[in-house]
Amino acid sequence: MLLDPRLLRTFVAIVETGSFTLAAKRLNSTQSTVSQHLGKLETAVGHRLIERADRPVGPTPAGGRLLGYARRLLALQDEAKAILADPAGTTTIRIGVPDDIVNSAMSRQFAQFAERHREIRLDVTTGLSRDLTRRFRAGEFDIAIVKEAVPSGDARASFAEPLAWFEATDRAQPWPDPIPLVTFPPGGLYRDLMIERIERAQMRWYIAFTGNSLGSVLSAVEAGLGLSVIPNSTTASHAVQISTIFPAEPPLVLSIYAWEPGGTTGELVNAMTNTLFGRSK
């Protein structure tokens, strides 16, 4: 049985004011409308709810049982209306970024943007650059930051991403043959770069550890599991050092893409670009 909230509100007003007249004033209605609403509610529940002969009027036993439920239902309805009236999080900006880009500096930019625009929810997905590029081109992201060899013509901004081979700082002895590598999953740019470089040198290798995040890769290198190519800007807080086994690799390009150049999306792109500029220095 569904109870009309208007009828419940009228019933509660009658009980709380003890008068049909005062209930009508509270509801900005008429006494006859209040009486009609109460009659409809009593018909719906099959019970008399108000002792009309009492002064002030009060609930019958059945009305007393209904009163608490009526108040709770009305409170929930008011809460639902308030939530729907608040625009917070009703619009989404979808962002695709490599895992290491979501650092404290970028997170602060997201937080500041969210504080200025409560109506926007930031939906951030991390992943490998090739997959992020594919998904951006398919329209799954509004903004994407990717690592690539050469930026496309529609990149909003691009920055050099210096790379190097890293090993644990306490590494003293030469690397064995074959060389153990710490890599990202197949399809990652760093992984392909590492394998291409080591095969070009005609050296033997094997995958000693695969990690899905930059943190796991750095931790594995720090623990001495193997060598890895890692962005220089991400290693400061880890006990790793540049290895002399190979020369420095040519930098990749860190590019930011967005479908919309203006509005709130453009504002966020500008903030993210400033953070990437600070990272590249």
Candidate from 16-25, 72-81, 125-134, 208-217 with smallest mean pLDDT: 72-81
Write out pLDDT tens, residues 114-172. 989 988 899 999 988 999 999 999 999 999 999 998 999 999 999 998 999 999 998 88
Paired strand residues for 254: 147, 159
* Residue 232 near residue 162, CB atoms below 8 Å: yes
- Residue 172 is predicted with a pLDDT of 80
Tell me the domain boundaries of the chain. 5-85, 91-160+253-280, 163-250
Torsion of CA 100, 102, 106, 112, to 10 degrees: 180
Q: Do domains 91-160+253-280 and 163-250 have the same CATH topology?
A: yes
Paired strand residues for 123: 94
Percent of the chain, pLDDT > 90?
Answer: 67
Quickly state the pLDDT bin for 281 (edges 50, 70, 90). Answer: low
CATH class (in words) of the domain with range 91-160+253-280: alpha beta
- Residue 280 is predicted with a pLDDT of 57
Architecture of domain 5-85: Orthogonal Bundle (1.10)
CATH superfamily of 163-250: Periplasmic binding protein-like II (3.40.190.10)
CA 71 to chain centre: 36
- Copy the structure tokens of residue 168: 């644990």
**How many angstroms separate the CA atoms of 221 and 15, rounded?**
72
**How many angstroms separate the CA atoms of 119 and 182, rounded?**
42
Q: Specify the pTM.
A: 0.66
**How many angstroms separate the CA atoms of 102 and 106, rounded?**
6
- Residue 197 is predicted with a pLDDT of 92
**How many angstroms separate the CA atoms of 157 and 189, rounded?**
20
**How many angstroms separate the CA atoms of 23 and 43, rounded?**
20
